[in-house]
A and B are shown apart, each in its own frame.
Chain A
Amino acid sequence: AQTVTQSQPEMSVQEAETVTLSCTYDTSESDYYLFWYKQPPSRQMILVIRQEAYKQQNATENRFSVNFQKAAKSFSLKISDSQLGDAAMYFCAYRSALHPPGSARQLTFGSGTQLTVLP
């Protein structure tokens, strides 16, 4: 079974600065997907960024980028030019690329990192 570990329960960053959230995972599979989700106080889960394991290039979405180290099974999220609206709980998640017929692919989540942005 896959596991996802987020070792930083809380992080803080000064507005306009850069912060990196850590995530490691354990799997025996070679093909999979990794995600970062943001959960603001509204509770809505919002997809921030995703990475396909077969792609060596790190994914980027505006101010959000990842550092994907497949051999080390590490998937960190970097937020540049942090804004007050970035304050939220951030979840790292893993999803297998295997797709047995008639099944649905499951998402395995880490325990989350609460990010505070200081004005």
Chain B
Amino acid sequence: NAGVTQTPKFQVLKTGQSMTLQCAQDMNHNSMYWYRQDPGMGLRLIYYSASEGTTDKGEVPNGYNVSRLNKREFSLRLESAAPSQTSVYFCASSEEATFLLQKLFFGSGTQLSVL
């Protein structure tokens, strides 16, 4: 029962460095999401993907890029990390085609610090 798997769990970057956060789900879900969590602000949507081959901006997309590599995988890339991107990042997935399943499944998060 892997669900949604994120790697890495922790990462420290220097300002200007780049990195990619990986996410994979094994539930055959169509939709996948990237959120960031900051103290006092809840979770904010960065990007989402309704299906393989499509991506859309969320509430806070600046400084990020995403790739929906296939149905299972959805990666988040920071091209030039900034201290403002210090946060906990969550990947999530859901099955949009089924009206009964109105819920998201989350990964365990990535704690990213940018110095």
**Measuring CB to CB, which residues of chain A are less than 8 angstroms from any residue of chain B?**
4, 6, 9, 33, 35, 42-47, 50, 52, 91, 95, 99, 102-107, 109-112
Report yes or no: B102 in contact with A45, Cβ–Cβ below 8 A.
no
Given the contacts A104-B48, A104-B50, A91 and B102 also touching, CB distance less than 8 Å: no
CA distance A47 to B93 in the complex (A): 13
Residues of A within 8 A of B50 (CB): 102-104
Quick one: which of B33, B54, B102 contacts A50, CB cutoff 8 A?
B102
**Measuring CB to CB, which residues of chain B are less than 8 angstroms from any residue of chain A?**
30-31, 33, 40-45, 48-51, 54, 56, 58, 88, 90, 92, 94, 96, 102-104, 106, 108-109, 111
Report yes or no: B103 in contact with A47, Cβ–Cβ below 8 A.
yes
Interface hub of B41, B49, B88, B106 (most chain A Cβ within 10 A) = B106
Q: Which residue of B lies closest to A51 (CB)?
A: B102
CA distance A47 to B40 in the complex (A): 20
Give 6 pairs: A residue, B residue, CB < 8 Å, sorted on A. A46-B106, A47-B103, A102-B54, A103-B50, A106-B58, A109-B42
Report yes or no: A91 in contact with B43, Cβ–Cβ below 8 A.
yes
Residues of A within 8 A of B31 (CB): 104-105
Shortest CB-to-CB span from B109 to chain A, Å, is 4
Report yes or no: B33 in contact with A111, Cβ–Cβ below 8 A.
no
Quick one: which of A50, A102, A104 contacts B103, CB cutoff 8 A?
A50
CA distance A103 to B56 in the complex (A): 8
Given the contacts A45-B90, A95-B102, A107 and B45 also touching, CB distance less than 8 Å: yes
Q: Which residue of B lies closest to A95 (CB)?
A: B102
Q: Which residue of B lies closest to A52 (CB)?
A: B102
Report yes or no: B56 in contact with A104, Cβ–Cβ below 8 A.
yes
Interface hub of B41, B42, B54, B96 (most chain A Cβ within 10 A) = B42
Report yes or no: B41 in contact with A33, Cβ–Cβ below 8 A.
no
Q: Which residue of B lies closest to A91 (CB)?
A: B42
